[in-house]
A and B are shown apart, each in its own frame.
Chain A
Amino acid sequence: MTSPPITAHQTENLIDSSQKFNPTRLVDRIFKVLSLLLALSIGFVLLWITYSLLGIAFPAIAQFNLGFLTSQAWDPVQDLYGALPQIYGTIVSSIIALLFAVPLGVGVAIFLSENFLPQKILTPIAFLVELLAAIPSVVYGMWGIFVFIPFILPVLQFIHQLFGWIPLFSTSPSTRQMFATAMVLAIMILPTIIAISRDTMVSLSPALRQGAYGLGATRWETITRVLVPAGLSGIIGSVMLALGRALGETMAAAMLIGNANRINVSLFAPASTISALIANQFGEASGLQRSALFYQALILMIITLIVNMLAEVIVSRFQQVE
């Protein structure tokens, strides 16, 4: 009736009840195991993706082996395939995109993390940048077709006339080409670089800034010699993530790059990337050609995996320093 203090007898009871069948504990056990299984399923999906790509790519892997990586052929009639032009296009377009996007993005991130403007103006700009990161790549691609390429072609024509003797600019700018595609990619990855670099710069300890000012450094000396070096790994991490996005980007590349399955030295000529090739050819492909496309996808997956893991390592090292 009244509740007596806990006795040994009762604790014994408790232990007993845990050993007997107890629906509450059973549910708890099931719940824990279920959550463990679903957590592990994330890793399982990664393996499954690799396995399913490998499975369909197998005929092409068996036929072309590693020679696939260095062959320039893409001939559905004779069933001869290679990936070199696409690997070249994927890497070169991403690197050019980074050359544009990194200085711009880091500059904007510095601007947004300093107090050049009142917070009231900076917050909407930061929101706008985040919104732009969410705009689908197909919209960037369409903007590239109808707005950017018509706008940039005369500029590229001018560059071609001035620097045409350099092999990189040696062909007359085509309406679908590597260089303009890379510039659109740069615009696409800008928000990623800005957002993460800004977060890094904002989260730096205020003591760094105060110390630098205390020693008599100007604002820009503080930024270039203290803040940027302190946030460097965060910035590099953002660049790596952006590189991963540029490498895997499909829609903008498929719409703008021109799908030429050969290597052109000139950046103003049509080119191809792995994802653009898949997007353009997968619909009509079958047999060995489809298999070769999956082989290319496998290569893309490995490239982006390496880049993203590097980004992961760099960012996590930064977090540990903090």
Chain B
Amino acid sequence: MTSSPNSANSKGQSAVSQYSVAPQRQFFGNFMTGLVLFCVALALLPLASILFMVLSQGLSRLLQDFPSVFTQLPPPPLVDGGGFRNAIVGTIITSLLGALISVPVGIMAAIYTVEFGQGNRISQFVRFCTNVLSGVPSIIAGLFAYGIVVLAMGTFSATAGGVALSVLMAPIVIRTTEEGLKSIPRDVRQAIVGIGATNFQGIFSVILPAVLPFIATGVTLALARAAGETAPLLFTALFNQYDARNPLREPTATLSVLIYNYAISPFRNQNELAWAAALIVVLLILGISVISRSLTSRKVY
């Protein structure tokens, strides 16, 4: 204000940028930016290390004996080579069993909460239970399946593993299906009522086809979760050194339990196999989540 109007005018632009932010405020900004960059570096470092180690360690073993890893059985201690054919098959079987139980239940539950319940007490209750169920520790799902399947059948089996996994998969299917159902415009529902279709006809011939991408996303996400879960399988599917002849009634090997057993084993060959199996699981999950992304982008409405 004391300076002449002339000089203020000529330096107007720079004066604003000089005086608009006091030095200590500027320092605070720079300091915080630096701090956040430090956080990002610190957070991404271990995460990058995990990806790098899984890739490098896993690839080296996979390339070293390429096809045999997929075709041979797990080796006993102190024996070289070997693979995890049975574990790959077992992971697929337990995950599919889990999906077989959780997908129909999940889709129907979501249909009730969105289509029939429409925010009433029951659907609020179901949504609450879904959220609680998704927070249940995975090992408790395993103990649950042990209690209701293993004790009843008298044997560890892929069936029990599938039941344990389904408890963890159902909330994922419900949530994505609900999201899909909610995305359907009101006009479509009014049109269904308008042509005199029953709820069943409308849902099956119009709404479900439109929601299919969401359901597929939910199923793939649930499968991705199932493929990596270990704790629920420890006391349900257990492990098997050989191919399970009847997985539904016999202990079954899975990739995740194989990783656990072989990572804590003192034998180098088994450690290497664990890394290779980890790479397979991570690639499986990566592939599944990429598929699910491309599915969601294919929205109907």
Binding site for B on A (CB under 8 A): 24-25, 27-28, 31-32, 34-36, 38-43, 45-46, 48-49, 52-53, 55-56, 103-105, 107-108, 110-111, 116, 125, 128-132, 134-143, 145-148, 187, 190-191, 194, 216, 218-221, 223-224, 241, 244, 247-251, 254-255, 275, 278-279, 282-283, 294, 297, 300-301, 304-305, 307-309, 311-312
Candidate in B38, B113, B147 with the most chain A CB atoms within 10 angstroms? B147
Residues of B within 8 A of A129 (CB): 47
Known: A39-B113, A49-B167, A52-B148. A247 touches B36 (CB 8 A): no
17 contacting pairs across A/B (C-beta < 8 A): A25-B198, A41-B105, A45-B170, A46-B129, A52-B147, A107-B39, A108-B36, A125-B44, A134-B224, A134-B228, A136-B278, A146-B263, A187-B46, A220-B28, A223-B32, A283-B234, A283-B235
Residues of B within 8 A of A308 (CB): 131-132, 135
Binding site for A on B (CB under 8 A): 20-21, 25-26, 28-29, 32-33, 35-40, 42-44, 46-47, 49-51, 53-54, 57, 104-105, 108-109, 111-113, 115-117, 122-123, 125-126, 128-133, 135-141, 143-144, 147-148, 167, 170-171, 174, 198-201, 203, 224-225, 227-231, 234-235, 256, 259-260, 263-264, 271, 274-275, 278, 281-282, 285-286, 289
Known: A45-B133, A49-B167. A136 touches B256 (CB 8 A): yes
Residue of B nearest to A139 (CB): B278
Q: Is B231 in contact with A251, judged by CB distance below 8 angstroms?
A: yes
Residues of A within 8 A of B148 (CB): 48, 52
Q: Is B228 in contact with A305, judged by CB distance below 8 angstroms?
A: no
Say which residue of B25, B143, B263, B281 sits within 8 Å of A297 (CB atoms): B143
Give the secondary structure class of B's interface.
helix
Residue of A nearest to B28 (CB): A220
Q: Is A248 in contact with B36, judged by CB distance below 8 angstroms?
A: no
Say which residue of B139, B147, B171 sits within 8 Å of A250 (CB atoms): B139
Q: Is B140 in contact with A45, judged by CB distance below 8 angstroms?
A: no
